[in-house]
Structure 1
Amino acid sequence: MDAVDLVLEAWQRERPDLDFWPVGVVGRVQRLSRLLDQEIKTFAARHGLDQGEVDVLMTLRRAGEPFELSAGALLKTSMVTSGAITARIDRMEAKSLVERVRDGNDRRSVRVRLTEHGNEVVDTLVGEHLANEERLLRGLDRGELDQLARSLRTLLESLGDRGVRL
């Protein structure tokens, strides 16, 4: 039994007139989110980064040459406030991971670009990050994971989650 089973058992005892089956899914997704979040935070900290900084590094790297995006594009992919993304970029700039550059087409706009050091860090980090995520998923076989990914995609889409194309 997991922690959610114990919650369901208690509710069944206390309110047998209700069917608490949604808690079996939502409760597990929430608990899993918290557990995975903590694991990713620990991984990032081992590299002297926080989770948000890793996210920015990965986002800029996968954007392709010249490994830069507008601050607005970073904001859309990060699901944080503009103040939070500004603070994140400030911290990363202090670590020489990114630099702010003026947009050649619009001088009012600023783009955030990986520095050479930032590019080296993310290229080292990405393989270790994937290995860490694979470790976290060892409880299921590849077929189960593929099915889970499909089901989660369907659920996310049904809730209006649409990706942001860089």
Structure 2
Amino acid sequence: NETLPPTASPEAIAAAWRRERPDLDHAGLAITLRIRSLAMLIDRYIAELADELELDLKDLMLLFALRRSGEPYCMRPTDVFRLLKVTSGAATYRADKLVERGVANRIPDPKDRRGQLIQLSEEGMRLVDIAITRLAESSTKCLALFDADSGQVDELGQLLRSLETGWLQITPSQDNPLARSSESDQ
């Protein structure tokens, strides 16, 4: 009986499962394993970007959210803990770290005189723009094997949205780590 090397391809892993559990329907397993492998590569790349910018990965994800929120690039603390799916105390800690690092500021909330907003600072803007530029450039390079003129990239996007819809249908919303708020896609 052959053992799998630690870096077995998703197809090899799926083949091993077909061998070990021939009673199961394996139609989507190789695809699921391939997407999981890809997600791990992307997560590692983003974590390396964060490290290079001397940021924690969660901090970079929060800076991304602040940047894409549009001017004035700020969020309420409640939006932060919903986005990060942490307690309000953990969100406060994360916001404090960003302010201490100089990548965010606390400003008065114009809609609640008792509240404060977390706003992207100039340094935060500089760092997040470096990160998103590199991520966009790398993402484009990874599509080099596709023929953009033939619509392959658009077709891939549609296929992935359909697959995501399937996964969303079997994942209870309270258990969905990617749950999107109705106000904006995260």
Asked if these proteins are the same fold (TM beyond 0.5), I'd say: yes
Give secondary structure in 2 for the equivalent of 1:109: strand
Listed as ranges, the gaps of 5+ residues in structure 1 are none
**Corresponding residue for 1:20?**
26
- The reply on whether 1:91 has 2:109 as its aligned counterpart is no
- Alpha-carbon separation, structure 2, partners of 1:164 and 1:41: 28
> What does 1:1-166 correspond to in 2, within 5 Å?
3-76=9-82, 78-82=83-87, 83-142=89-148, 143-158=151-166, 159=168, 162=180, 164-166=182-184
Query: Alpha-carbon deviation of 1:145?
Result: 2.9
- The structure whose residues are more often helix, as a share, is 1
Query: Alpha-carbon deviation of 1:53?
Result: 2.0
- Alpha-carbon separation, structure 2, partners of 1:147 and 1:45: 34
- Alpha-carbon separation, structure 1, partners of 2:159 and 2:84: 22
Give secondary structure in 2 for the equivalent of 1:17: coil
Listed as ranges, the gaps of 5+ residues in structure 2 are 1-7, 170-178
- Alpha-carbon separation, structure 2, partners of 1:72 and 1:139: 42
The normalised TM-score by structure 2 is: 0.73
Query: Alpha-carbon deviation of 1:81?
Result: 1.0
RCO (CA 8 Å, sep 6+): is it higher in 1 or 2?
Answer: 1
The normalised TM-score by structure 1 is: 0.81
Over the aligned positions, Cα root-mean-square deviation in angstroms equals 2.5
Query: Alpha-carbon deviation of 1:37?
Result: 0.5
Equivalenced residue count is 164
Give secondary structure in 2 for the equivalent of 1:48: coil
- Alpha-carbon separation, structure 2, partners of 1:8 and 1:17: 13
